[in-house]
Structure 1
Amino acid sequence: MSAPDHAHEMPGSLWQQAISATLHCLTGCAIGEVLGMVVGSALGWGNAATVVLSIGLAFVFGYSLAMRPVLRAGLPLAAALGVALASDTISISVMELIDNAFVVAIPGAMDAGLTSALFWGTLIASLAIAFVVTVPVNRWLIARGRGHAVMHQYHH
């Protein structure tokens, strides 16, 4: 049995909705990703620890931003967390997989240091590539009433 098609209840085309959802996801991911990379690099952590911190913070910030409108709509914290998990887990996972794989794949990027154009250029490029890859994923989810479609009723 397939999920009901809720996409018709949301304003804009599926592509517009997917871009909007991905920009929302990118915001939380970018905050966490940049913070994690900066902290890990500043503390001299190895690549694995820095990537783990970045991913963890991306999920924390992504879910936190997703929960804001849901909490404002009056849902209790546990229910808001459930909505955030349902709406953003796949999107954040795809984005984090792509952007971290890209950063790790660029020779020297993780070790370049916070004052290096290589470090920042790679990080910016990784987020841009992750955005492009995640938009069609979010479109697919929204068309099936999943992903950010789950949150739509709470946005005012």
Structure 2
Amino acid sequence: MTTHQHGTSWSTAAQATLHCLTGCAIGEVLGMVLGTAFGLHNAATVVLSIVLAFVFGYGLTMRGVLKSGLALSAAFKVALAADTVSIVVMEIVDNTVVVAIPGAMNAGLASVLFWLSLVISLAIAFVFTVPVNKWMIGRGRGHAVVHGHHM
């Protein structure tokens, strides 16, 4: 390992996770809102939320690397490399927490329980994903790939 890889800070990992959380949260919240508003079954709502979390997570990363001059296909490959593991971990934790909170999946959009469960689940997912991102960045993977395109 290089010195850079050993020197990955918790702050860097938290920043990468916050970036990932932003895309995931947009997709997750939108999926939960749409699923609830359209009266979808809980499983369909979770699947919709996961799909949208990936779409928005990859989209935010692609937006940044496209500005660096990469072609669309190359930007998509960078987003896959940078975000897939982070989004998977975040979505597993996030959805597990929401499903585990009694009544959260059946709460309506006007319910405090609905919104509180989303906030709690995303916060817990953030805590679980920071160490994953620290490990990946320390090995030149994950968001380290994105940072290479910003320099």
Q: Which bin holds the TM-score, normalised by the shorter protein?
A: over 0.9
Q: 1:37: Cα distance to partner?
A: 0.1
Letter in 2 for 1:8: H
Structure-1-length-normalised TM-score: 0.92
What is aligned with 1:40? 35
Is the contact between residue 18 and residue 136 of structure 1 (CA under 8 Å) also seen in structure 2?
yes
- Contact 1:14 1:142 (8 Å CA) reproduced: no
1:111 aligns with: 106
Q: 1:86 aligns with which of 81, 102, 111?
A: 81
Question: Per-residue displacement from partner, 1:54-95 (whole Å, max 9, x unpaired)?
Answer: 000000000000011210111100000000000000000000
- Alignment partner, residue 25 of structure 1: 20
**2:4 corresponding residue in structure 1:** 8
1:66-85 maps to which residues of 2 (within 5 A)?
66-85=61-80
Paired position in structure 2 for 1:144: 139
CA distance in 2, matches of 1:48, 1:150: 33
Displacement, 1:107? 1.2
Q: 2:27 touches 2:52 (CA, 8 Å); kept in 1?
A: yes
Matched residues in 1 for 2:55 and 2:71: separation? 18
Aligned to 1:61: 56
> Unaligned 5+ residue runs, structure 2?
none
Aligned residue for 1:151, secondary structure, equals helix
How far apart, in 2, do the equivalents of 1:123 and 1:140 lie? 26
Structure 1 segments, 4+ long, off by >6 Å, are: none
Amino acid in structure 2 at the alignment position of 1:96: E
Structure 2 residue identity aligned to 1:81: F
Describe the SS at the equivalent of 1:145: coil
Q: Do the aligned partners of 1:15 and 1:139 also contact (CA within 8 Å) in 2?
A: yes
Equivalents in 2 of 1:146, 1:128: separation in Å?
Answer: 23
For residue 113 of structure 1, give the secondary structure of its aligned residue in structure 2: coil
Amino acid at match of 2:87: I
Distance 2:101 2:148 in 1: 41
Whole-Å separation in 1 of the counterparts to 2:61 and 2:109:
29
TM-score by length of 2: 0.95
Contact 2:24–2:57 (Cα < 8 Å) also in 1: yes
